Amino acid sequence: MNALTHKVAEGLDRLMRMIEAPTLVLQKKIGIQRMGYLFLAPNMVLFSLFVFLPVGLAIAYAFTGGTNMLIWDRPYVGLENFSRLLNCQNYMEPATCEFDLFWTAIHNTWWYTLLNSTGTLLMALITALVLNRLVRGKAFFRAVFFYPVLLSPVVVGLIWKWFLARNGLLNGFIEDLGGERIIFLLEVFWSRFWVVYISIWFHMGFFTLIILAGLQAIPSDIYEAAQVDGTSRWRQFWRLTLPLLMPNLLVVAVLLLIRSVQVFDEAWVLTDGGGPGTANSFIVQFIYQTAFNSEVRLYGLASAASVLMGLVLLVLTLAQVWLAKKSEY
């Protein structure tokens, strides 16, 4: 056993020397300060290939028309796609717009983002505060709350769809209590409620850990001094915890905003494509259907919608960061 271990160690030593030799030669030629860029190069290549290139293509497609897929086969139309999307008599009434489905999706995304972001932030904050004070079983409950994050959005949508079906577990429980079955996913109110609720349940654990990390980074001496001064727990939370937790809350708010606007997977699976009707049709679904799930595939129009969505996200994110910095001052 010792001989085998010795041979393995010798083999690893030779391998490290083989790697070290060309690395030292390269370091002498380009300098030690440039070595960091060399190690970053593979990641930057992949990032450019799967992030920057698709973004650039989406912007390019947004200024072209026709139904051809290849960019060089598509005619340049300027701002025509944007003007068609924004052509409305009354932006609050999607029926008055040229592309009413686009504005219906915007309205649905707006209410979903408001409810989901607010609900997830509040639930994550409350859960983090409870877990931070919990003495026994803290690691267990962290895992319990974080576990749904590990699931696929499609799996989450299917599980809850079976649970909420007409003959599903929830309706069976309601009938056992003497009630009548509720067709949850075919009624507008209930379908919207469950889309928001499931999203909060699905993503809350991830944001809880971010807030919990911020809570544990706050020195305990501050709370001890406040208790000596007779400060109530509510005043401690309002005057100490929230201001010191603001950087973490800002990160959570920005991530929630981006994630909410980009909702698609679980809502699509849960509601069979945004039903009932267009009650749960969101902006990403409009982009997907316009580009890939219609008889006439309007890649330019879908790209223009994605560019508008990206610009709105950028503006809202910058506004949140600016307001957070302003509140600090």
What pLDDT score does 122 carry? 92
The single residue listed with the structure tokens 């290849």 is: 70
Q: Where residue 115 falls among pLDDT bands split at 50, 70, 90?
A: very high
CA distance 329 to 3: 66
The single residue listed with the structure tokens 């309706």 is: 171
**pLDDT (tens digit, 9 = 90+) per residue, 279-313?**
888 888 888 888 887 777 888 888 888 888 888 88
8-state DSSP, 35: H
Contacts by residues 212-216 (CB-CB < 8 Å, ≥ 24 positions apart): 212/128, 212/131, 212/132, 212/142, 213/248, 214/244, 214/245, 214/247, 214/248, 214/249, 215/128, 215/129, 215/132, 215/241, 215/245, 216/132
**pLDDT (tens digit, 9 = 90+) per residue, 237-274?**
787 778 888 888 888 888 888 888 888 888 888 888 77
**pLDDT (tens digit, 9 = 90+) per residue, 45-87?**
888 888 888 888 888 888 888 778 888 888 888 888 888 888 8
CA dihedral 37, 42, 43, 48 (to 10 degrees): 100
| Contact status, residue 267 vs residue 157, Cβ threshold 8 Å | yes
- Taken as a whole, the chain contains a residue count of 329
Q: Measure the CA angle with vertex 157, ends 156 and 162; round to 5°.
A: 100
What pLDDT score does 12 carry? 67
Q: How many CB atoms lie within 10 A of CB 149?
A: 15
DSSP string computed for 151-189: S-HHHHHHHHHHHHSTTSHHHHHHHHTT-----GGGSHH
Mean residue pLDDT across the chain: 81
CA distance 87 to 77: 16
pLDDT above 60 (res 1): no
